[in-house]
Chain A
């Protein structure tokens, strides 16, 4: 178990010192987690991304949520379908490169109108050092749109929290397939 980089949040820090620690300790993972908890999410599946690390930790520490680590992102689309068949809401976390792995599997969600909520951290679009991330980063929104998934983009933490709440309603209550794309500019430059 690696050290919790943002332990201060769990201790219940105030807004003012949250703001002070924002560069090292973004508050959005906890806020997104709380939105998803209020939406009664019971299953979370993921292929890790550094941008999702804190959110993954929060879910994995939550006994009310079953978490699945995946070998490839498309597995999560299938698990989400099964979860809904059985009466549970789920969320799927991945990086933009993983969207490419999901395309045919997304036909399961769209043809069956399974509620699907994907949170996608973007790579290849802002201060990207790794050229291999660029093609799929460029194709992410177009590919999702082409297969029938609605994309909502978030460029700031406030936009993200709002988008996740809106996407949760659209998915779980209106049977929509929604991907919230979390901007790389907001996530910050990866340090090597």
Chain B
């Protein structure tokens, strides 16, 4: 058994998104969307407020449409557990420009901190590895800089990074909820017009 995670989720996500450059970001509902927003709102962010299980696969569709851009789908353990099958779909699709980042606090933070499957021993990184994704796990601040650099280069295939963070209640940092606006904002960032 490893010791309790010590990373702070807000600081960890801010560290990963430092000097983000051309990175496109999709964030999963709940705390990951707040973490990404707290790191700095950006036209290249697509925040989810629902559709649990979708973040990594929105990342896949985006990665396939924009093969020259790097995509980070930043989500939580709860959301990724709902989309475990999606890891198989991503593995088969083999996007080199997609990194799924699971901010893993072992709990369903949005609904009262009930312990999740990862808190009870399930390792999403091992599931992802079994599917064929390249994986990394960050437990210390030093690991985050290695991960950050990885976000800016194409991989040999799809990757999944797990960031083990403390189960802590953090003040919410609420992004916009207007999904049509967010859609057209990201598309405009890519030079695409709304209909």
Interface residues of chain A, those whose CB is within 8 Å of chain B, are 42-43, 66, 68-72, 74-75, 77-88, 90, 104-105, 107-108, 111-114, 172-175
Contact with A along B51-64 (1 / 0, CB 8 A): 11111011111111
**Cβ contact of B60, chosen from A68, A69, A172, cutoff 8 A:** A68
Contact A43 B187 (CB under 8 A): no
**Cβ contact of B51, chosen from A42, A68, A85, A108, cutoff 8 A:** A108
- Distance in angstroms from B145 CB to nearest chain A CB is 28
Which residues of chain A are within 8 angstroms of B180 by Cβ–Cβ distance?
111-113
Cα of A54 to Cα of B88 in the assembled complex, Å: 24
**B155 adjacent to chain A (CB < 8 Å):** no
Contact B57 A71 (CB under 8 A): no
Interface residues of chain B, those whose CB is within 8 Å of chain A, are 26, 46, 48, 50-55, 57-66, 69, 83, 85-86, 88-89, 92-93, 179-180, 182-183, 186-187, 190, 192, 195
- Distance in angstroms from A63 CB to nearest chain B CB is 14
Which residues of chain A are within 8 angstroms of B93 by Cβ–Cβ distance?
66, 68
Total A-B pairs, Cβ < 8 A: 120
**Cβ contact of A112, chosen from B55, B64, B69, B183, cutoff 8 A:** B183
Which residues of chain B are within 8 angstroms of A113 by Cβ–Cβ distance?
179-180, 183
- Distance in angstroms from B69 CB to nearest chain A CB is 8
Contact A85 B46 (CB under 8 A): yes
Contact B63 A114 (CB under 8 A): no
Contact A82 B179 (CB under 8 A): no
Contact A83 B183 (CB under 8 A): no
Cα of A138 to Cα of B161 in the assembled complex, Å: 42
Contact B50 A175 (CB under 8 A): no
Contact B190 A87 (CB under 8 A): yes
